[in-house]
Structure 1
Amino acid sequence: MDFEFDEEHELLRKSLEKFVEKEVVPVAQELDERGKFPRELFRKAGELGFFGIKYPKKYGGSEGDNIMFCILCEELAKGSLSFGAGVMMQSLQSIHFPYKYGSEEQRQEIVVPAIKGEKLGAFALTEPDAGTDLGSLRTTADKDGDEYVLNGTKAWTTNAQVADFFTVLAVTDKEKKLKGVDFFLVERDNPGLTVGKDVQKLGLRGTETAELILEDCRIPKENLLGEEGTGYDSLMDILAEIRIMTGALAVGLARSALDMGVRYANERVQFGRPIGKFQAIRMKLADVATELEAAKLLVYYSAWLLDKGKECGKEAAMAKLFATEMAVKATDEASRVFASYGFSMEYPIQMLLRDARFLIIGGGTSEILKLIIGRELGL
């Protein structure tokens, strides 16, 4: 049993720490206040190879493992959850499907420039009446000769306003229920595709979110990603990884909250001494630090299982559940250390408090994860 990262992992973490300190931290609060997509940061991320960390070198990737991907998500989220989550979604949900299920031509036209950060992707799964319940999907893809015709509305499509291509989940055979849904590649300039109204969000404001409307949107049959009837299985194939990486984002955000809380506790003086010297504050931050370490172990253990090719659905659900709930608690407790200043927009702890809410929704709600874990226990 070895709890040490290898040299390659440590070098990656150190380089990311420098990048985040120089490029991300100084603009994190501005990104939140503007509520706009950080195009310049994404360009730099592409140049540094962030989006290709898990893909083959022949497509511009670095062939890294899931431990490396966790380190990337954690360190970026420590600087800005909006940026970290955006990078994760580009690298994972947006690029994965055209890479794994697309043609070689699509890999060259979509995957290669996406890894470079020259093209941006968006993942269109959720609908107004279908989130966790994929059986309620209403977006359809009807075969018409050499084309599919897509109709429907997608909700909560991250970075829809700036995306060059979309991975869209639609129903191909309603009678087959979950075995009748599939993923399709739809490019932005495709007739029939419209980006709808913006969603004004509580947190994660450095990403833009909107509706996606598909009206008689015709795409070539070659834009079906995988064999017809395999969309649900394709999603399940990547779900553990999404949950593990969301857990890594939570670890990064919680580290930032803890750092802010400790720093303020050492600076703020009341009754003649720093408030960090009072037992109540020490115990509060000690709880956060302890749960943070436990979350790290769950997240990285799950990533290790994934790298070893072992079954990790239960562990991924546990890691995501524990780490994200921990991050919500960490930001809340750190905010309490700031007292009234934690309620002020002047201090960035309020941004972390708002951003943390995203983590307990994306990749499966805490309630759904508990049901999954219970089922894995044989209940």
Structure 2
Amino acid sequence: MTQPNKSRSGKIRSNAEDMVRFTMANFVDKEIIPVATEYDNKGEFPQHLFKKLGKMGVFGIRYPKKAGGSGGNTTLYCIAMQELARGLLSLAATTAMQCLMATNGLYLYGTKKMHEEFLYPALKGDKMGAFQLTEPNAGSDLSAVRTKAEKTRDGYVINGMKTWSTSGPKADFHTVLCQTDPSIGLRGLAFFLVPASTPGFSYSKPFDLLGTRTSAISEIYFKDCHVPVEYRLGKEGRGLGVLLKILSEIRIMTASLALGLHRAAMDDAIRYCKEREQFGKPISKYQLIQAKIANMAVNLEAGQLMVDKVTHMIDQGKECLNLASMAKYFTVESTCSACDEAMRIFGGYAYSMEYSVQRYYRDNRFLLSGGGTHEVLQTTIAREILSR
């Protein structure tokens, strides 16, 4: 279990970062890890753990207390996500969305009534939110968004569909990116709040997934869904700007999820290689196994330094989108490698569903697309550097 930093006298330092990590590590070790395999095998979302996280104040960790939050920041948010991902990535990803994408627009642009009806219950874990961005032909290319919000006398009528919606079948409300004027492309985008109770709202059967199997992910459909004008989150045509304001946070959050999964794979590999004996000694004594562990540890430490740098820059109000993109790219690629190496260390046993290492190997694929595909990230990172 992760321990908080201690002074030379042995007393626990009382800074917020240590306490968040210590509290979340305790929760993960006692509440999540013992049941993670069971829920993954069943493909069932651990709703009771989601509720507990709400009561702990995790969903509001990056929001001020006056908004019903916990008064934390991006650094504390990402520390919490690292620990949760160490236990069960699908629960961590759902929590991460609840804390950020599903509620941020509502917090910034929602009315007091909307806060009371949706935001405050969401931060307590009494309601679940979802974020609707991706469409079959619109992922990285947001100019291809076809879900349309047509203005009426008293609001908007939304028609279209979204796909790969995390928590789509379970969410009580949805933050949805729509096109208000297809003739002007990106300048016509806007976000809207759509309660799941809205007539015309529906969803597909949840997808059967390779990894993150406890997540409920589906397609979402909007057929003549009417929402009042105040449910538009931000000005019409400013949807891309709303997204860009939190894009650094989205990418560093994804990097944080990767760090947690990386640590889980490495910890299991270390434990196993010390126990497994071949030719009269633990396989941890063999140089090739040591090399794998060394590479995992170096990449984990490097990724942690990158994430810490970016989260502190965000909390200081500094622009760091390219650094966040680098951190997301590096940590996720390193985690994919770590999960693969852990599988190799486990050998034939890695092929058994009895060991969690196979879950890490499957779950890490989820991170490759979230927050931007790596092919797109490499292009944008290079363009920024070459433009200097």
**1:241-260 Cα shifts (integer Å, max 9, x gaps):** 01001101100100000000
Question: What does residue 303 of structure 2 align with?
Answer: 295
In the alignment, structure 1 residue 132 sits paired with structure 2 residue 146: no
- What is the CA-CA distance between 1:59 and the residue it aligns to? 2.8
In the alignment, structure 1 residue 221 sits paired with structure 2 residue 242: no
2:328 to 302, 320, 337: 320
CA contact under 8 A between 2:251 and 2:325: conserved in structure 1?
Answer: yes
Q: Distance in 1 between matches of 2:14 and 2:223?
A: 50
Secondary structure of the corresponding residue to residue 293 of structure 2: helix
Secondary structure of the corresponding residue to residue 377 of structure 1: helix
2:121 to 83, 97, 113: 113
**1:112-134 Cα shifts (integer Å, max 9, x gaps):** 00000000001111011111111
CA contact under 8 A between 1:160 and 1:210: conserved in structure 2?
Answer: yes
**1:289-308 Cα shifts (integer Å, max 9, x gaps):** 10110000011101011111
Question: What does residue 102 of structure 1 align with?
Answer: 110
Runs of 4+ in 1 over 2 A off after TM superposition: 3-6
C-alpha RMSD of the superposition: 1.3
Aligned letter for 2:362?
R
- What is the CA-CA distance between 1:360 and the residue it aligns to? 1.1
2:25 to 17, 26, 29: 17
In the alignment, structure 1 residue 237 sits paired with structure 2 residue 242: no
For normalisation by structure 1, the TM-score amounts to 0.97
Trace 1:1-379 onto structure 2 (pairs within 5 A). Answer: 7-379=15-387
**1:45-101 Cα shifts (integer Å, max 9, x gaps):** 000000000111123211112111111010111111111111101111111111111
Secondary structure of the corresponding residue to residue 139 of structure 2: coil
Q: Distance in 2 between matches of 1:251 and 1:7?
A: 21
Change in CA separation of 1:32 and 1:285 when aligned onto 2, cut-off 3 Å: same
Aligned letter for 1:129?
N
Count of residue pairs the alignment pairs up: 377
CA contact under 8 A between 2:59 and 2:125: conserved in structure 1?
Answer: yes
Aligned letter for 1:72?
A
Question: What does residue 10 of structure 2 align with?
Answer: none
- What is the CA-CA distance between 1:6 and the residue it aligns to? 7.0
- What is the CA-CA distance between 1:378 and the residue it aligns to? 2.3
- What is the CA-CA distance between 1:375 and the residue it aligns to? 1.4
Secondary structure of the corresponding residue to residue 365 of structure 2: helix
CA contact under 8 A between 2:85 and 2:258: conserved in structure 1?
Answer: yes
Secondary structure of the corresponding residue to residue 198 of structure 1: coil
Secondary structure of the corresponding residue to residue 197 of structure 1: coil
- What is the CA-CA distance between 1:216 and the residue it aligns to? 0.9
- What is the CA-CA distance between 1:198 and the residue it aligns to? 1.7
